[in-house]
Chains A and B, each alone.
Chain A
Amino acid sequence: MNVVAPFEGIGASVRRKEDLRFLSGRGQYTDDINRPGQTHAWILRSPHAHAAIQGLDTAAAKAMPGVLAVFVGADMAADNVGGIPCGWQIHNKDGSPMAEPPHPALAIGKVRHVGDPVAVVIAETKQQARDAAEAIVVDYAPLPAAATMEQALKPGAPQIHDGAPGNLCYDWHIGDRAVLDAAFAKAHKVVSFETTNNRLVPNAMEPRAAIGEYDAQSGDYTLYTTSQNPHVIRLLMGAFVLHIPEAKLRVVAPDVGGGFGSKIYHYAEEAIVTWASAKVKRPIKWTAERTESFMSDAHGRDHVTKAELALDAQGKILGLKVHTHANMGAYLSTFAPCVPTYLYATLLSGVYVMPVIYAEVKAVFTNTVPVDAYRGAGRPEATYLLERLMDVAAKEMGLDRVEFRRRNFIPVDAFPYQTPVALQYDSGNYFATLDAALETADWKGFEARRAAAAAKGKLRGIGISTYLEACGIAPSAVVGSLGARAGLYEVGTIRVHPTGSVTVLTGAHSHGQGHETTFAQLVADRLGVPIANVDVVHGDTAKVPFGMGTYGSRSLAVGGSAMVKAMDKIVAKGKRIAAHLMEASVEDVEFDRGTFRVAGTDKTKSLTDISLAAYVPHNYPIEEIEPGLEETAFYDPKNFTYPGGCHIAEVEIDAETGKVSMVNFTAVDDVGRVINPMIVEGQVQGGVAQGIGQALLESAIYDDQGQLISGSMMDYTMPRADDLAPVSVATHTTLCTHNPLGVKGCGEVGAIGSPPAVINAVVDALRDYGVRHIEMPATPAKIWNIIHGGRRAAAE
């Protein structure tokens, strides 16, 4: 009987290999790991947003039961421990570098946000450590706080860092101001728009955790941590903070329960437990409570923006001017400075022909948790601004919002397309994704649905967003010239074992994305190895040669491409071995999915024949070819990738309560070649859920004193299943032209495209109330205020 194996290669929706482990509770997360002799850390955190530390008495705590040690900032400083570094340097308009104030792992002299670490207690149990932390006496002299950017920028505002006058981190710009002014002078109409992009708390399901372990015999350190990029943590923590050479420091990021960006960064707790483990000569575990996550995981977004769009009489865009304030929080998190600049302002052309763009961005320190990249990072902010502005402008021009967009789309034949803000798009077809989405969402039939809803007392609205993003980050030389202090290539090793099974070592890290499946599919597709025989190893600096990790939807575009390069090398070497075994010339050997063939003959060798020969080199050209079949490649991308598409949201509002219900969501995305359609669908749905969360529900709110009011799930609204709508996901592919797989990335599109679609739908639903704009999140109370205000205005 001839059994045909199911196709598992590129394009197959194979089930995720990792799911059995996760769904049956057998994942191994950092907190599941227990090291022999392990102790526990509790971090004492500042209850004040801004205060001078006048005294710090740990004597009573040290005497408490089970306590091994208590450390404060001065102890780390005495050991020459460095501050938490920032990985990206932005330059001001005048060419001077941004303000980069020190960020000690444990506060020295001053605390700058609620949750700022002040001391650490190491004890036999977490309870004992926590009890002892309460016995630490800190003499705080509270200082006035700058909880918002507005407060921080006011003359006479509290000065948060000595090295950042006026609480300004940088004042940066991009684009040609003179050309812009000329364009605006010719404009038929200038549409102004102001908006706030709400601050979000990432809330990965797994709280952050870290275990530091020091081996006194070897002098080796190991850090187990909840990270999206263990090699980056090894580099940052080893080189800048603890001064441990790479060879002596192993960083393991085991199963990680969601990151969304918040687990990219090097955090104080990682350095604290690693450093302290050598002091107490025992492993130390720290696991965040949810409350700590709220006040110590880097938050996301938090922009205040004014924009102006210049248009000609036909509704063609002449130019865009943007002025943004971006909140950095109290300290610079690892990649914070690049988010509102090179991941935001460079995206302001969107899917449109914009002759000129000028954007200026001021980054501001405040007495709040540091802000950094969060799913989408900069691109959601740009997309939200643009796609709201397009709706507002269409209305003010008296144009249909779809037609207005179409009129300004980058034409299909214009690729590669150079924007006025540095990026060059390689491929895309925004008309195709728009048309497909309009069709799926039955845009034409909407007015009938609106009337039917009205008959039931509901206000129904529909909203569209045609978006683009830049991901697959990024060419090292380009980002280096823009201030990155790292390269952004990726590394892949393909290890073909003697009997033909394969281990993949990748520098990407999977924390929900399904790499163990998708990457195995790449191997199945190219080398013909069943995915069951492909093991994907990631997240351990002792196993994987190097890597830059997973964020910016880069794993497949960059990490997958590194694997392709490594597989190319495997095939090239395999052909030479096959040529020897089949007594043919190398040029005549062809390879297709696991089979080497002498062209035009029926002489074949399987991959297993070749791997066996490579590891048991009896009949082998040993003088010319090394034994073994393992190859490593570093892949540095030539450009960003540019997924784009169209999202359509349909909502219904209960006019009496203001509550918005999502009734439908359509996403048609161009993510390049699709490896596993099921995984892409899941990624888009998850992203859309977060986008709906931002648009309707989520908001990190500080009071004037810098206390986080929405500091728990009681007040911070995470999206739940019944807040969402059925999300219809489809893809329309134009291939990426510069990576070998033609892939673009799908991890963030959902979170990028959806918020403006939702808000556009809400504004549309309220069209009879004279609403120009509603800020995110569009909560019931806010909408009720609009309806109520509108009614009153109409009555007066």
Chain B
Amino acid sequence: MYEFSYHKPASVADAVKLLSADPEARPISGGMTLLPALKLRLSKPTALVDLSGIAELRGIRRDGGTIVVGALAKHYEVATNADIKAAIPALAWMASTIGDTQVRNRGTMGGSVANNDPSADYPAALLALGATIQTDRRKLSADEFFTGMFSTALDTGELVTAIHIPVPEKAGYAKMKNPASRYSMAGVFVARGPAGVRVAVNGAGANGAFRAPQMEAALQANWSPDAVAGVKMDPAMMNGDIHGSAEYRAHLVTVMAKRAVQNAG
């Protein structure tokens, strides 16, 4: 780590003020992504603005047909929250598969979506569920928000404050974990709800999480595992590395889509 100064504001307004005053300052939530980067000296912020003292970023509640998740909600809370388990069990299950016990008790949904790691779980879920990301200054649909790997529509100093998730009729998730990191190597989240059928993929894409329109069409016509089992993905869109080629990932996406529909019931 390099030296940095440390702030712990009590409100979103104060946090935003600190962050706008210094473009090299960074917000920190669970620190599960940012701290390793600091320790490896891959990141050199002048200051850390610790969000953990901001009460308004906490909590998970149901608001009619929407689940509202505070940016500071930990993976463990998402996995065990009664409203989420009742309304979107696939999302609760997804959260329970992220990292390990320690990570799930530190890492937050806000931190994860702001980071938009191509192998992270949540971005695909929020794309498929048609979620809205609320920031300190505006609301963005998931489609607008996620703009490519490690990239989002957030401006410098802009904070994710909550995530609004419409409750679907059905949703399912399946993923193949990377054998080493245990992040997603190919994960597919399927949902059928107010916004129609939506399918999104994490882990496999060459440019981060993405929606799969062919699969959406196939499932719109026929909501069954078999409907997606025949939809081939284009390897040119996929990422290849020592753990698997783009062809392998393209194949896995189809398999995981099939299993996700199975899991959705």
Enumerate chain A interface residues (CB-CB to B < 8 A): 127, 130-131, 291, 656-659, 697, 699, 701, 709-710, 713-718, 779-781, 784-785, 788
Contacts of A130 in B (CB 8 A): 41
Q: A779-B243, A780-B244 are in contact. Are A657 and B180 (CB under 8 A)?
A: no
Contacts of B243 in A (CB 8 A): 715, 779, 781
Q: Mark B229-264, 1 if CB is under 8 A from A, else 0.
A: 000000000000011110010011001000000000
The answer to whether B40 and A714 touch across the interface, beta carbons within 8 angstroms, is no
Partner of B251, one of A127, A131, A784: A784
The answer to whether B176 and A780 touch across the interface, beta carbons within 8 angstroms, is yes
The answer to whether A713 and B181 touch across the interface, beta carbons within 8 angstroms, is yes
The answer to whether B255 and A657 touch across the interface, beta carbons within 8 angstroms, is yes
Closest to A696 in B: B179
> What would 5 A/B residue contacts be, using CB atoms closer than 8 Å?
A127-B1, A656-B255, A715-B243, A717-B179, A781-B245
The answer to whether A713 and B176 touch across the interface, beta carbons within 8 angstroms, is no
Bound-state CA distance A779–B248 (Å) is 12
Main secondary structure of the interface of A (DSSP, over half): loop
The answer to whether A779 and B181 touch across the interface, beta carbons within 8 angstroms, is no
Contacts of B252 in A (CB 8 A): 657
Bound-state CA distance A291–B3 (Å) is 21
Bound-state CA distance A699–B40 (Å) is 22
- By Cβ-Cβ distance, the 4 closest A-B pairs, closest first, are A781-B244, A717-B180, A714-B181, A717-B179
Bound-state CA distance A709–B242 (Å) is 8
Bound-state CA distance A788–B244 (Å) is 13
Bound-state CA distance A713–B245 (Å) is 20
Bound-state CA distance A263–B231 (Å) is 52
Bound-state CA distance A718–B2 (Å) is 29
Q: A127-B1, A656-B255, A781-B248 are in contact. Are A701 and B242 (CB under 8 A)?
A: yes
B84 to chain A, nearest CB (A): 25
Closest to B176 in A: A657
Contacts of A713 in B (CB 8 A): 180-181
Q: A291-B40, A701-B242, A785-B248 are in contact. Are A780 and B179 (CB under 8 A)?
A: yes
Contacts of B3 in A (CB 8 A): 127
Bound-state CA distance A710–B179 (Å) is 12
Q: Mark B206-250, 1 if CB is under 8 A from A, else 0.
A: 000000000000000000000000000000000000111100100
Contacts of A779 in B (CB 8 A): 179, 243-244
A515 to chain B, nearest CB (A): 32
Contacts of B176 in A (CB 8 A): 657, 659, 780
Most buried by B among A657, A697, A709: A657
Enumerate chain B interface residues (CB-CB to A < 8 A): 1-3, 40-41, 176, 179-181, 242-245, 248, 251-252, 255
B1 to chain A, nearest CB (A): 7
Bound-state CA distance A715–B176 (Å) is 15
Main secondary structure of the interface of B (DSSP, over half): loop
Contacts of A780 in B (CB 8 A): 176, 179, 244
Closest to B40 in A: A291
Closest to B245 in A: A781
Most buried by A among B179, B242, B245, B251: B179
The answer to whether B40 and A716 touch across the interface, beta carbons within 8 angstroms, is no
Bound-state CA distance A657–B255 (Å) is 8
A531 to chain B, nearest CB (A): 36
Closest to B186 in A: A657
Bound-state CA distance A784–B243 (Å) is 12
B126 to chain A, nearest CB (A): 24
Bound-state CA distance A656–B174 (Å) is 13
Q: A291-B40, A779-B243, A780-B244 are in contact. Are A710 and B180 (CB under 8 A)?
A: yes
Closest to A714 in B: B181
Bound-state CA distance A780–B3 (Å) is 42
B141 to chain A, nearest CB (A): 31
The answer to whether A788 and B251 touch across the interface, beta carbons within 8 angstroms, is yes
Closest to B1 in A: A127
Bound-state CA distance A242–B180 (Å) is 41
Partner of B181, one of A659, A715, A784: A715
Contacts of A785 in B (CB 8 A): 245, 248
Bound-state CA distance A713–B182 (Å) is 10
A424 to chain B, nearest CB (A): 42
Contacts of B242 in A (CB 8 A): 699, 701, 709-710, 715
Closest to A784 in B: B248
Bound-state CA distance A715–B243 (Å) is 8
Bound-state CA distance A614–B255 (Å) is 78
Contacts of B248 in A (CB 8 A): 658, 781, 784-785
Bound-state CA distance A131–B245 (Å) is 39
Bound-state CA distance A580–B248 (Å) is 82
Contacts of B41 in A (CB 8 A): 130
A688 to chain B, nearest CB (A): 18
Most buried by A among B176, B248, B252: B248
The answer to whether A715 and B255 touch across the interface, beta carbons within 8 angstroms, is no
Closest to A703 in B: B242
Closest to A291 in B: B40
A125 to chain B, nearest CB (A): 11
Closest to B258 in A: A656
Q: A656-B255, A657-B252, A781-B244 are in contact. Are A715 and B40 (CB under 8 A)?
A: no
B104 to chain A, nearest CB (A): 16
Bound-state CA distance A714–B179 (Å) is 9
Bound-state CA distance A784–B246 (Å) is 13
Contacts of A701 in B (CB 8 A): 242
Contacts of B255 in A (CB 8 A): 656-657
Contacts of A709 in B (CB 8 A): 242
Contacts of A717 in B (CB 8 A): 179-180
Closest to B254 in A: A656
Bound-state CA distance A714–B42 (Å) is 15
Bound-state CA distance A658–B255 (Å) is 11
Contacts of B2 in A (CB 8 A): 131
B184 to chain A, nearest CB (A): 13
Bound-state CA distance A709–B180 (Å) is 12
- 4 further A-B contacts with Cβ under 8 Å, apart from A713-B181, A718-B180, A781-B245, are A659-B176, A714-B180, A779-B244, A785-B248
A266 to chain B, nearest CB (A): 28
The answer to whether A716 and B180 touch across the interface, beta carbons within 8 angstroms, is yes
Closest to A777 in B: B179
Bound-state CA distance A779–B185 (Å) is 13
Contacts of A784 in B (CB 8 A): 244, 248, 251
A708 to chain B, nearest CB (A): 11
Bound-state CA distance A659–B252 (Å) is 11
Bound-state CA distance A699–B241 (Å) is 14
Bound-state CA distance A709–B176 (Å) is 21
Contacts of B1 in A (CB 8 A): 127
Bound-state CA distance A657–B40 (Å) is 33
Contacts of B245 in A (CB 8 A): 781, 785
Most buried by B among A699, A718, A781: A781
Bound-state CA distance A787–B2 (Å) is 49
Most buried by B among A291, A656, A659, A697: A656
The answer to whether A697 and B179 touch across the interface, beta carbons within 8 angstroms, is yes
Contacts of B179 in A (CB 8 A): 697, 717, 779-780
Bound-state CA distance A127–B41 (Å) is 11
Closest to B177 in A: A659
B32 to chain A, nearest CB (A): 13
Bound-state CA distance A697–B181 (Å) is 12
Closest to A657 in B: B176
Closest to B240 in A: A781
Closest to B255 in A: A656
Bound-state CA distance A779–B176 (Å) is 13
Contacts of B244 in A (CB 8 A): 779-781, 784
Bound-state CA distance A715–B244 (Å) is 12
Bound-state CA distance A714–B3 (Å) is 26
Most buried by A among B176, B180, B248: B180
Bound-state CA distance A781–B40 (Å) is 29
Closest to B244 in A: A781
Bound-state CA distance A604–B50 (Å) is 75
A573 to chain B, nearest CB (A): 56
Bound-state CA distance A127–B2 (Å) is 8
Bound-state CA distance A710–B251 (Å) is 24
Contacts of A718 in B (CB 8 A): 180
